[in-house]
Amino acid sequence: MTIKPIKALISRRSLTGLMALALVTPAGGALAAPMTLRGTVLFRERIALPRTATVEVRLLDVSLADAPAKTIAETRLPARRNPIRYALRFDRAQIEPRRTYALQARITDGERLLFINTTRHTVFAGGRNSTTIRVEHVAREQAEAPRPATPVGRWLAEDIRGGGVIDRLQSVLELAADGKVSGTGGCNRMSGSAKLSGPQISFGPLASTRMACTLAAMNQESKFFAALESARSWRIDRQDKLVLLDAGGTPIMRLARM
């Protein structure tokens, strides 16, 4: 009796199948657990949306107040009727019990924001998930009454020296017509004054409270205050953003009107 080697008993087809299985099986044997959140986005206004409008819905990890939100899943689809149905697909393993998650929805037409939810819509908080997201209408400025170009107003920092800013941490500049300055760096309130002369601007010494916050918040606040003190001129860009520039004409901070 002749005994054939075991390896000879494995056909080429079987070997190919085993190799394919090894390629699709995750390391450690962990398999994905797909999950879908279905819901609707709605608004109360009885208006027709532009044919080119789209709705974007995202599931976010918002656990850290001093760090950018992490996107778990997102979808974008045409906003053709109210309410708008959506479905978010993701891996159940991405949801951790001790973290905080929220849904965010916005309706846009190109670069123009039409609707957005203004309150946190928390999910996976222990109860039944509410996936109906109500969005609020964003008022549009009248074309026949353009806003005058001026740095006077209330502004939210969107970028500082090209490094961006932390989501949900608001560094706010409030500038009155008489030059009075107030606002917050994101942790501490500030006060002071500024001199305005045409496109020229300079901020005097700024006083602030002395509260202690997280390291990330304090770092952004320090950069915000430093940028104000370095500002020597201003301009309003095409997106109605306030841009502060240093003595060399380099943009050092961009702020959005609040």
Domain's final residue, options 102, 137, 172: 137
Q: Which residues of the chain have pLDDT under 50?
A: 1-30, 142-145
Asked if residue 170 and residue 105 are part of one domain, the reply reads no
Query: Can you give the pLDDT at residue 128?
Result: 78
Query: Can you give the pLDDT at residue 15?
Result: 42
Domain's final residue, options 85, 111, 137: 137
Q: DSSP letters along 10-54, please?
A: S-HHHHHHHHHHHHHSPGGG----EEEEEEEEE-S---PPPTT-E
Domain containing 125 — which CATH number?
Answer: 2.60.40.2990
Asked if residue 231 and residue 204 are part of one domain, the reply reads yes
Nearest 10 degrees: CA dihedral of 230, 231, 232, 234? 170
Query: Can you give the pLDDT at residue 66?
Result: 65
Instruction: Give pLDDT tens digits for 121-144.
Output: 889 887 778 899 999 988 765 433
Domain's final residue, options 85, 105, 137: 137
Asked if residue 131 and residue 201 are part of one domain, the reply reads no
Q: Which domain holds residue 160?
A: 153-257
Domain containing 194 — which CATH number?
Answer: 2.40.128.270
Asked if residue 202 and residue 249 are part of one domain, the reply reads yes
Handedness of CA 147, 153, 157, 162 (dihedral sign): positive
**Hey, what are 33's tokens?**
């657990």
Total domains in the chain come to 2
Query: Is-contact 99 43, C-beta < 8 A?
Result: no
Query: Can you give the pLDDT at residue 52?
Result: 93
Report which of 229, 185, 225, 178 is spatially closest to residue 204, judged by C-alpha positions. 229
